[in-house]
Amino acid sequence: MKPHLIALDLDGTLLNDQKVISEKTLATLKQAESEGHQIMIATGRPYRSSEVYYRQLGLKTPIVNFNGAFVHHPTDRTWKTVHETIDLTVAKEVIDAMQDFNLKNIVAEVMDDVYLHYHDEKLLDIFSTGSPKIQEGDIRQYLQVNPTSLLIQGAEGMADPIRKHLEEVHAEVIEHRRWGAPWEIVEVIRHGLNKAVGISKVSEWIGIPQERIIAFGDEDNDLEMLDYAGIGVAMGNGIDQLKSIANEVTLTNNEDGIAIMLQERLNLKSS
C-alpha cells in the first residue's frame, strides 16, 4: 500500500479522557509507521504541552501547533519554521472590545510566554505545563509584541455572543474557534490560518499527496483539516458539524477509534 500521512488532533481524538494515548492506539500507530506511513500531530496546543506525546510516539515529522499558527520540526532545525502572529494593534483592539462582555479572563500567548489578564489558579495550572514565562495583569499594558494566539474566556453563555462580535468586526484579520465543553473559551489566531494550512506544508515536504492524507478530529478547529484531507475522520465523540462533513465517523477517543479505523483502512493486523 502507498504511504499515507496520518494527521492527529490531540484532545478528544488521540488522547482519551484521561489525557493518555491508549496502548492499542499507540501500538497501531507504531505498526502503521513500520509499514511506511507517516504520522503527525496537528493541535491547538502549544508545543510545550504537546511535546510529551510527540516524544511518546517517536515522531520524525513536523508538528502543527496553535491551530496552524506555528508549524515546525522539533528534531530538524533545517526545516523552515512557520510562525504567523496576530498584529499587536489588532490584538489590543480585540482585547479592548472584550471589555464590553461578561468575561472571566483573557490569555495571550507568544510562543512560550503567557499573559493572563486576571489571576486564575485553574488557568495557571493548565498553562504552566512546560514551565513558560507567565505574566499576570492588564494584557494591554504588558503585551508588547505580536501574540501567537489569544484565548477569551467568557462567563457562561458568552462564547456565542463573543464569536458573533469577532465575526462582524474582525473577520478580515482573525480566525476564531471555540474550545470544547466545559470551557467557554474562544481561541483567536491570525486570519487565514488553520490546521489544514499546516498539514498541506508538511504533506508537500514529505511528498504525500492530499488524497492520501487521513486526518482525525473532534472539534470545530478540525473542520478545515478534515475537509482538506483525502480521508477526513470524525471521532464518535465529535461535534455534529464535524461529522456532517467527514468522510467517515469512527468510534470515540475512549474506544480506540483511531486504531480501529486505521486497522481497516490500511489493512493493519489487529494490535
Catalytically active residues are: 9
Q: Where are the beta strands (DSSP E) in 30-77?
A: 38-41, 63-65, 70-72
Count Cα atoms within 13 angstroms, Cβ side, for 176.
26
Task: Report the distance separating Cα 258 and Cα 98, nearest Å.
Answer: 38
Could you tell me if 41 and 11 are in contact, meaning their C-beta atoms sit under 8 angstroms apart? no
CA distances from 143 to 93, 106, 154, 176 (A): 12, 12, 20, 20
> Which one-letter DSSP state was computed for residue 268?
P
Using only C-alpha atoms, the chain has a radius of gyration, in whole angstroms, of 18
